[in-house]
């Protein structure tokens, strides 16, 4: 398979890229500016156009993993500046849309194309304890986006799933996370493999459970 993974310079994205490569797949990993990876700023339309032009073969699996969590330590009183909202939504929501939009022609060329969108359990209405307003709402928005992609792309034969990767011990997740990155990546790979038109529109956890929206 040819697999494109955004945000492949660290954490889950880097591990997925390494594991898929080790399994014999062709992997195109992206980052804004990391040696050895394809250049893609997911917030920039021109960057998407240039990246898409460099992809000359069908894309079997697109993993939209690039994301930011800027408001982890913000306080409601005086925090959450507008610029932070704009940055997060540009990456976590618009960035996913632009990635899918740019690579759709290559996905349509694949035999059984799939799109895997990394969301979070923090997007679910069942996980709303307060705080992290920017991250939570942006991940809820991309979860909604995945559902609408699934509806529009089913006639094209493209399956779309959204995934909670677990609370992973990475730079973003922090040292208090529940699982290691290798556990998350292995579980996600199994879930991506199971994704089909029969399950398109799903929201699943890294360990194989359906998650409430």
Distances (CA, A) of 200 to 45, 153, 188: 27, 9, 15
Give the tens place of pLDDT for each residue, 46-77.
Answer: 999 999 999 999 999 999 999 999 988 889 99
pTM to 2 decimal places = 0.92
Q: Note the Cα 64 to chain centre separation in Å.
A: 3
Which of residues 132 and 5 earns the better pLDDT score?
A: 5
Place domain 2-205 in its CATH homologous superfamily: NAD(P)-binding Rossmann-like Domain (3.40.50.720)
CB atoms under 10 Å from CB of 83, counted, come to 9
Give the residue among 19, 118, 15, 16 at the shortest CA–CA distance from 68. 118
Residue ranges per structural domain of the chain: 2-205
pLDDT band at 87 (very low <50, low <70, confident <90, very high): very high
The sign of the CA dihedral 143, 144, 150, 152 is: negative
Q: Is the pLDDT of residue 169 over 70?
A: no
**End-to-end alpha-carbon separation of the chain, Å?**
30
* Mean of per-residue pLDDT scores for the chain: 91
Return the DSSP state at 67.
-
Distance CA 96, CA 72 (A): 21
- For residues 155-168, average pLDDT: 91
| pLDDT in the model for residue 68 | 94
CB atoms under 10 Å from CB of 86, counted, come to 13
List, in sequence order, every residue forming a beta bridge with 159; answer none if it has no partner.
114
């Amino acid at each position: 398979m040819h697999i494109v993974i955004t945000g492949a310079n660290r954490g889950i994205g880097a591990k997925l890229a390494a594991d898929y490569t080790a399994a014999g797949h062709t992997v195109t990993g992206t980052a804004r500016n990391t040696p050895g990876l394809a250049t893609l700023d997911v917030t920039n339309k021109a960057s998407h156009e240039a990246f898409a032009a460099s992809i000359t073969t069908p894309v079997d699996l697109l993993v939209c993993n690039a994301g930011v969590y800027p408001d982890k330590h913000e306080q409601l009183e005086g925090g959450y500046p507008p610029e932070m909202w704009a940055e997060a939504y540009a990456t976590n929501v618009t960035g996913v849309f632009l990635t899918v939009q740019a690579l759709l022609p290559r996905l349509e060329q694949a035999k059984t194309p799939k799109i895997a969108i990394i969301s979070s359990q923090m997007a679910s209405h069942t996980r709303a304890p307060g705080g992290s307003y920017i991250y939570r709402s942006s991940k809820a928005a991309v979860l909604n986006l995945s559902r609408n992609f699934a509806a529009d792309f089913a006639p094209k034969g493209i399956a779309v799933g959204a995934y909670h990767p677990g609370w992973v011990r990475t730079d973003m997740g922090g040292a208090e996370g529940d699982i290691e990155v290798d556990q998350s990546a292995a579980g996600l790979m199994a879930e991506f493999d199971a994704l089909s038109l029969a399950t398109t529109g799903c929201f699943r956890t890294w360990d194989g459970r359906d998650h409430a929206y």
